[in-house]
Structure 1
Amino acid sequence: MTMGPTAGPLPASSMPATSLNVPSASSSLNGLQPFIKDCPHGGTNMDLDLVKEGTTLLEVPRSSSYTFQGRYAPFKAPVFYNPRMEFSRDLSVMALRVFVKERKPPISICDPLAGLGARGIRYANEVQNVKSVMGDLNADAIPLILKNADLNGVSSKVEVFEKDANLLLAESSEPGKRHDFIDIDPFGTPVHFLSSAVRAVKNKGILAVTATDTAPLCGVHPRACIRKYASVPLRTEYCHETALRIMIGSVVMEALKHDFGTEVLLSYSVDHYLRAFTRLTLGARRGDRAAADAGFLLHCPSCGWREKIKLNAAFDPKCSTCGGSVSRAGPLWCGQLSDPSFLDKMLNEDRSLFNTSRRIEKFLRIVREECEMPISFYVIDNLSSSLKRDVPPIKKVIESLKAKGHKATLTHFHPKAIKTTAPISDIKSAIRGI
């Protein structure tokens, strides 16, 4: 294990990772008593639990010691760890496994906002031919990353730095030092790190980005969204998709500044956060193609009509369906939210050892079905209410639309919504006919 020049190494324990009855990260949230081990690290006074994600053991802040209103609060702990993001980390491991099969080893991963190292150590432990470079500005995080690396026997596959994320990425921006896979997983907005990340990623590498500031992106605080993302949000029933497209758009626009084109391999919105895996490929023409998939989304609050337009397209401020005033969101990403072939490869990956395996299976199959569908979705409950009709079974609505020659599917964004090629008038007709 290599330590960064500003990170003083602390002794790491060599606890064996066998014969332990270790709970999953999510089980400790459900009130189950975790396996607890006293783990002093470098004199920092922190209560720790031992949990298991995938095949990786992690010593994490004890959930019962850091609470707010009776529940574990990650922001209260000395080192950040959110057990509710285990699903995200499982998906990330699967996505990385698919990616490394396309690259020559070794694969360099950078997790510049590592916390206690959950992502970076899982990458090193659960994906072959991977080397993880991790950093965190929190001095308390460094010994815990070291300990977790030692706990999983991957000390030789990780480098740890006590360093600002942008500085760590900037130092990786020289040719020969760049990374194949960079994971930006902040608390809040990722926009402060995008410029450094784009400059530090290799050609055809992956930039994975998370955003947890969903309130601005969903239009609750539109001015904050405009300041951070230079994009106007819309507070609609499908605001989480708009939010995801704004976040992806910020990645695309930053990549364009450096002549990178962007492909979206997987993106989603779950559990109050947004996540996207993007492949950046160098070349002006690649950039032009990505720019062609950026644009605006028009929405009529009166009748629910919506349509995407190009960045430079003129538009009628009056709705062509009802004559109402049209709102505009963006600029944002108007292209596919996921790549079908990448999803097919992920579905073929072994996920049996993940605590969230059942959820992953259902989730990926829904995302696979919807990834080639048009922008936005329709909440059937809301449409039924506007028509003063009982809410029909969502599967019957989908069957009715398919019978009329339209494509229709469930969406991961909302449990009571559909994506479809049908105009809103046909969706309303389908509801009336059931």
Structure 2
Amino acid sequence: MHPRFTISELEEHPLRQRLNNEFHARPPIPLQDAQLVSHLVFKRGRNSIAEERDNLTRLTQSQVCNAIESSDAHQMIDAGSFRLRWEMHTEFSSYTFFRPLPVGGVLDPDATAFDAVHPEWMSAIPGKLIVATHVELRSTDEISPDSVLAKLSPSGRQMVAAQVADGNAWVFTDFKIDNGFSRFLVLDTGMTQRQAGRTVQRLVEIETYRMMALLGLPVAKEVAGWLYSAEKQLADLMDHIGQAHTPEDERTVLASLSKLAAEVERSVARTTFRFGAANAYHGLVSQRIAELRETRIPGLPTIDEFMQRRLVPAMATCEAISRRQEELSGRVARNSQLLRTRVDIELERQNQELLSQMNRRARLQLRLQETVEGLSVVVLTYYGSQLVQYLAKGTKDLHHQSTDVITALSIPVIAGLVAWGTRRLRKKLAAEEGEAAQ
């Protein structure tokens, strides 16, 4: 019987384990009883990743901590009095602190889940704070949904609320910032520990991705003013194209168009990532809201309705500005090509005129050449007859004819031979030129 084959004998792709671990990374943390979750998100700088890891190492060295899970992009730390989950994303890092609350106890408005962390460590976190939110998880035995609804004032803040997790929990928030934090209240009516963990994770991700998506709105507003002036400048340049009468005018307009094209492409390059990221974050917000499986509470908007009314118009603005930039870039390119075509046509016309002038000069040179050829025949005949005369004088003892008679008789013969030779040479040259042209 042949030996049993094992999978270890196959050559494994170097990324197989890493990709599979990434697929299972960042699972929701099971939550039970009353919990306070404080979620902080910092917009990272370019060179702050190593600084973040060093800061996390200092936290584990300053107190007794157990690393529940750890990788290059996320880390889970249990310090006893609190738990910390650190995650590194493309352009931000998140710190989520979990702290159990006493059942039935009243939560201090200034309390956080990281109260046990040394303030110096918190202030050493690199980056700029973009999201800070609290999620208070309570049972309906401690706080009833009706008591929360009874405290709502028609003239007070607009509350966003819904039943989630197939009716097993209630969520209340107003998405406003108090004492530096936005707040969610989650009332558990029958969720499992993992359901509670998933619900809390989705809420903090909604808040995170909402704020990250909104980073594109100030950029869109800034670009909108510049786009208006750029579109007006393009319209003015189109009027100048119609009024251009000389090549110099066209070259001036073309230079202005090239400068405008460079400005448009620079703006597109500067904003493409931000607008693309805003669109991606908006998609994540919509996905997380769908995963909550909201049920409407009469009289109060759901989280999805709130986002449709507040976030979607902002994202539509970013998309519209991005589309206007692309359209302006295309219009500038088309008009530049149109103007270049006009300039090329003008150059071709000038070249045709130059060729026509060259043809006229060539014909004039040909006539002059034909005239010169006639004079050349006369000159060559004269010199040929002189040679014949010298020969006749040298051989007068061998014949009895007069030298003048011999010279006179040679003139027609010499002239005919010279004319025939010149004409034959010209025909040969013309034939060679015709073959070369073909």
Higher helix share: 2
Category of TM-score, reference length = shorter chain: under 0.3
Provide TM-score, normalisation by structure 2.
0.26
Which structure has the greater CA radius of gyration? 2
Using structure 1 for the length normalisation, give the TM-score.
Answer: 0.26
Q: Compare relative contact order (CA 8 Å, sep 6+) and give the higher one, 1 or 2.
A: 2
